[in-house]
Structure 1
Amino acid sequence: MREVLEKLVEGNSLSKEEALVVFEKMAQGEVSDSVAGGILCALRMKGEKAEELGALAEVMLKKARILNPQTRPLIDIVGTGGDNAKTLNISTLSALICAAAGLKVAKHGNRTASGLLGSADLLEHLGLKIDSPPHLTKRCIEEIGFGFLFAPLYHPILANLTKVRRELGIRTIFNFLGPLINPALPEKLLIGAPTPEGAKVMAHALRLLGREGFVIHGLEGLDEVSPQGETLLIEVSSETLREKILTPKDFGLEGKPLSSIRIKDPKEGIERAKRILEGEEDEGIEAILMESSLGLLLSKKVKDLKEGIQVAKEIQRKGEGMRILEKVKELQDEGVFEKGV
């Protein structure tokens, strides 16, 4: 490991083969916390590369508990975290709206990394059992169109790195990892990245793994779509990567200030999320509609972003996002005495 650390400190990237060996040992707990922390910091300072990220994703998926819903295709809408923007959890709310629109959403997430409210935190406060057994989550996806896959339940080897990541307290390659290791293996991914460089690395890694999706970055430093200014969009397919810049006008909207999605604490984030899902007005709705529209377009549910806004707006206005959540809670309650299969 000393040679690897030296190589990274000197600003050199790992080959895929080297990265596979390093991450395998880290995942198995064969690397001390101090060395693991050094590797993570050195990767961050050097700048993580797509090959390194792809290798880490391969290691994690090989050791993951895979969930295989029979209903396909699946989509995940997820931010990497690490932007420290203190905003509403736009990706989770958008995922529920997309599920209400008929998409099959396998939402993979964890507790907050550096923001105020991670997907697991929010859904738990809204009454979901985030550690629901896999057989019930599979049913939720198949029968309702939304299931939450709590990362520690499907990636138990993450526990080997929990302490060092918590003590570091900074964004590491693991922030980028989450969207790439969804154990339901969704065909489509809408991923938010905290920097333009991070978005490009994520897009290249996605392609290396043979996946398709949209990778976005709000150019004010958001790992979500920007309600106010420009959003970098990278379209990932098996053939190519295509970049474009979107603004609210591409969605048929005038735009809202960044303050519209800011929250001061988790309590505010939870209360506003509940109101939005129930169909009430909120100044942050436009950003959620925009991200929902991207999910609908990626899944070919709509022909363009403006149509996506109209579909998402009607769903939000009727409170159908909350109905999806209530159905999931009901199924979880019904299935609590079932034997897992």
Structure 2
Amino acid sequence: MMSDESRLREFGRMICSVAAGNHLSRESAMEAYRQVILNEQPELQQGAFLMAHIARGPSIPELSGAWDALDRYDTAKIHTRLTGPVCDIVGTGSDAMKTVNCSTPAALIAAAAGLPVAKKGARLVTGVSGASDIMEIFGIDLGAPLSRAEQCLERYGICYLPGEAFLESGWARLIQSMRFTSAFNIIGPLTRPCEQNNCIVIGAYGPTVCNQLIAVLREIGMPAALAPYGMVEGGDPKRGMDEFSTAGPTRVVELKNGEIETYEVTAEDFGAITGDFAAIASHATARDNARAILRVLEGEYDTPLADFFCVNAAAALYVAGFAKDYRQGFHTAKEALSSGKAREKLRQLTEIQGKS
């Protein structure tokens, strides 16, 4: 059995090797991330490894190995009797163009249109507010047992799975203490706490990351996925957002039946109108963002912000097979929003997963 000092030295040599540009096998990456997740290395070594890895640029086998470790050693699971599509809508964060939280209202709208959504999320990493910050303001109990999320998904076709609840040891400890982007920003959104989850819309903070996400999803057997990288018309294409944009074009990487396709769409492909980024830009605080979402859910249905949410809900309906294309998905999403059903989904969510 290897001594503690030997394990420290071996991990240190691995850090130096990664920093020098060498790659790990999927199995070696899983072991490295296992040690980080289970806190088997000093924090200084953990941080050095995470930074060396993201700075060099992780390979697909390495990201798949990191996902293996996170899934095997740190992800609690819920199980439901649902059959058919169960979707997730999530983003990596760390994007340059900060918007009002989009995945949360998009999940509510998609669920209101009849698509079961097991949405996961976390607190902010680099922005104003993460999904968990918004959900907490809405009254969701982030510390509630996962059995309540399971119950909510089965009864109402919607649930929220906070990373703080289903990733209780390694990931939660790391993400709360880090203020820099790491491979966890890539693999964290790929976690599958709901085993019935078989399609996903997963926005990313850069085009290369979109490619990586879809490649890893294919490796781990996800049947269908979209990875959007939204941009602003006339802006720097290197400064984008981790969702479909209504302020400019969106580069999309799609996984379907094991095949990967890359293409570009605009708001007009959905039946919406390209507008100013200011209409969807993040406010100064999480509470301001939550208020903006509630205004849409409670009646501001025909605004640029409402269209932004519906475009992203439409993507979920499309990838799940609930719409034949983005345009039909957008029409369905707008109907679900204007009917008041999306606001009702939030009420149902808080009924079961809310603070008592």
TM-score by length of 2: 0.89
2:159 to 140, 147, 154: 147
CA contact (8 A) 1:207 1:237 kept: no
1:6-42, Cα deviation, whole Å (9 max, x unpaired): 1111122221121011011111111111111111111
Structure 1 segment 280-295 matched on structure 2, within 5 A: 280-281=300-301, 282-295=303-316
47-56 or 17-26: bigger deviation: 47-56
Q: Which residue of 1 aligns with 2:289?
A: 269
Q: Which amino acid aligns with 2:103?
A: S
Gaps of 5+ in 1: 337-341
Question: Aligned residue for 1:25?
Answer: 35
Alpha carbons 1:93, 1:288 under 8 Å: kept: yes
Q: Report the equivalent of 1:339.
A: none
Question: SS at 2:304's partner residue?
Answer: coil
Contact 1:29 1:160 in 2 (8 A): no
Alignment partner, residue 255 of structure 1: 274
Structure 1 runs of 4+ aligned residues shifted over 4 Å read 165-168
The equivalent of 1:305 in structure 2 is 326
Residue 226 in structure 1 maps to residue 259 in structure 2 = no
Instruction: Give the percent of matched residue pairs that are identical in Structure 1 and Structure 2.
Output: 27
1:89 aligned partner: 101
The residue number in structure 2 matching 1:68 is 79
Aligned partner of 2:192 in structure 1 is 182
User: The residue matched to 2:247 in structure 1 has which SS?
Assistant: coil
2:71·2:191 contact (CA, 8 Å) conserved in 1?
yes
- Equivalent position of 2:236 in the other structure: none
Q: Distance in 1 between matches of 2:318 and 2:171?
A: 36
Instruction: Provide the residue aligned with 1:122 in structure 2.
Output: 134
In 2, the alpha carbon distance for the partners of 1:61 and 1:168 equals: 20
- Give me the whole-angstrom Cα distance separating, in 2, the residues matched to 1:6 and 1:87: 37
Q: Distance in 2 between matches of 1:248 and 1:171?
A: 29
Residues 101 and 130 of structure 2 are in contact (CA less than 8 Å); yes or no, is this contact kept in structure 1? yes
Q: Distance in 1 between matches of 2:354 and 2:270?
A: 39
Give secondary structure in 2 for the equivalent of 1:213: strand
Deviation per CA, 1:131-158: give whole Å up to 9, x if none.
2212211110011011111112212222
Residues 78, 6 of structure 1: CA spacing in aligned structure 2 closer, same or farther, 3 A cutoff? same
C-alpha separation between the residues in 2 aligned to 1:167 and 1:139? 31
Q: Matched residue of 2:128: which SS?
A: coil
Q: Determine the C-alpha separation between the residues in 2 that align with 1:304 and 1:333.
A: 34
Q: RMSD of the alignment, in Å? A: 1.7
- When normalised by structure 1's length, the TM-score is 0.93
Matched, 1:109 2:121: yes
Correspondence for 1:217: 229
Q: Structure 2 unaligned segments of length 5 or more: list them.
A: 1-10, 233-239
The answer as to whether partners of 2:246 and 2:308 remain within 8 angstroms in 1 is yes
Code of the residue aligned with 1:245 in structure 2: it is E
- Tell me what 2:214 maps to: 203
Judge conservation of contact 1:112–1:121 (CA < 8 Å) in 2: yes
Change (3 A) 1:22 1:333: closer
1:14 aligns with 2:24: yes
In structure 2, what residue type is equivalent to 1:234?
V
Alpha-carbon shift at residue 167 of structure 1 (Å)? 4.9
Moved more, 324-333 or 119-128: 324-333
Cα distance per residue 1:273-320 (max 9 Å; x no partner)? 111111324431221111111111111111111111111111212222
Q: In structure 1, how many angstroms separate the alpha carbons of the residues matched to 2:353 and 2:49?
A: 40
Q: How many pairs are equivalent? A: 333
